[in-house]
Chain A
């Protein structure tokens, strides 16, 4: 077998459904550790309920959250992959197929921003971005359904020659603005540099990095550790009703920039939806979180 339209369509549906129904293992582990570390009764109970909810969704093949978000796919194509069909269309058709078949059915969250009408489809939906992977013949497809609860608190500001202090203070301002409302404990993505659009992409992709993974850059490694500590010192806590765990992690990435340096900050809520699939050249599909 090879990488075909039908295969990509089917995998697009599969990863979206899995992202809606399964909280990643690294995230459940982090929630468990947070529950053990919390000192307040309310926050312990809330984290316990989160874990119970995640397990119940898996056992019952049900949605973790009713807001199934809008479909977002990050696709990386090996430079040696043989395609010859419209990959974007295959993903779009896969999403449409999912909408028609998923049990339980999902709500209409795709919104026309000009009329506020809602449906399952819309211009540029699913949001699909493509990158290349050198010296590979497979496709990686990562799905991250994005909903309102965490999505609406993302922000970006452009600074000129900011110090690390300016950048970190801005991250904390974004955290304060979101307060109790983004379904904490969250995973925070920070993108520094590049251009206006690229900083946002860096921040978003940073949220998708596995929890516990160590940043390759020593400056960012330290920044992630101190920002995580700082965010948790705010005390908003699980579900924003108080506690020591407001963020499970802060992930930072950067790109070289001009003297104008954008800083983008975004949030993934505690269910941390993401599901990936690698489609090998022979058509073998391997899921990864």
Chain B
């Protein structure tokens, strides 16, 4: 554990496949972000209907990031960004990952097993962003390259932007089906009988006046 890499988008599949759980990465180049559930639903509807998307997502780094965007005199600007909880997009992400061959996805809190399987197939990793990292993460913003679906509220739009050294981010699901989230949940479930037994012992000790346990 413990390598640090910079991924330069567009990124090669081999650079994604070599990443291991717990590696740290920084991102350079163009990434895609949105925080909207309606956005994910709309993308899936477009795919089902064969409607062309307003922007190309092929092999993209597609991240669950909330952002504040302004548009003054035709100039788009992202004032700040920060991750949002990815699990609420679980239902839609396997379709997005497979349809566009996404190379990296991310946000916070992870994605489920079905997503991890799709990521394994196409060669994609999940990157954990720091929730509450708004000030530092936003320093990586260099240029907004496109904003799509302007009929939606600011942080639901599909925003493409060029970043420099966005991170550090943690590789939390790799491109081989391994998930830190699944591992941790499984470990915690295995540990739970002992945790509950230790709670019982501590309760009994406290009830008998011994608070050293």
Binding site for B on A (CB under 8 A): 23, 41-42, 45-46, 49-50, 52-54, 56-57, 60, 62-67, 104-108, 118, 148-149, 152, 164-165, 168-169, 172, 176, 179-183, 219, 222-223, 225-227, 229-230, 233-237, 239-242, 269-271
Contacts and interface: CB of A to CB of B under 8 A. Distances in A.
Given A66-B66, A226-B206, A46 B199 contact: no
A179 B109 CA distance: 8
A66 B189 CA distance: 32
A47 B52 CA distance: 42
Given A53-B136, A107-B66, A180-B184, A222 B202 contact: yes
B176 interface: no
Interface in B183-213: 184-185, 187-189, 191-192, 194-196, 198-200, 202-203, 206, 211, 213
A53 B83 CA distance: 13
A241 B128 CA distance: 8
A36 B192 CA distance: 26
Interface of B: 1-2, 22, 24, 65-68, 79-82, 84-85, 87, 108-110, 128, 130-138, 153-155, 168, 170, 172, 180-181, 184-185, 187-189, 191-192, 194-196, 198-200, 202-203, 206, 211, 213
When A and B form their complex, which 5 residue pairs have the shortest distance between CB atoms, in order from nearest? A66-B82, A181-B109, A222-B206, A183-B131, A226-B202
Contact of A53 (B24, B108, B133, B189): B133
A181 B87 contact: yes
A222 B135 CA distance: 38
Contacts of B170: 42, 46, 239, 241
Given A168-B203, A239-B128, 13 more contacts: A49-B130, A49-B136, A64-B132, A64-B135, A66-B80, A108-B154, A180-B110, A223-B206, A229-B198, A239-B130, A240-B108, A269-B131, A269-B132
A229 B188 CA distance: 13
Contact of B181 (A45, A105, A179, A222): A179
A234 B134 contact: no
19 contacts: A23-B132, A41-B1, A41-B2, A41-B22, A42-B1, A50-B130, A63-B135, A65-B131, A66-B81, A105-B79, A108-B154, A149-B84, A172-B192, A179-B181, A226-B199, A229-B198, A235-B184, A235-B188, A241-B180
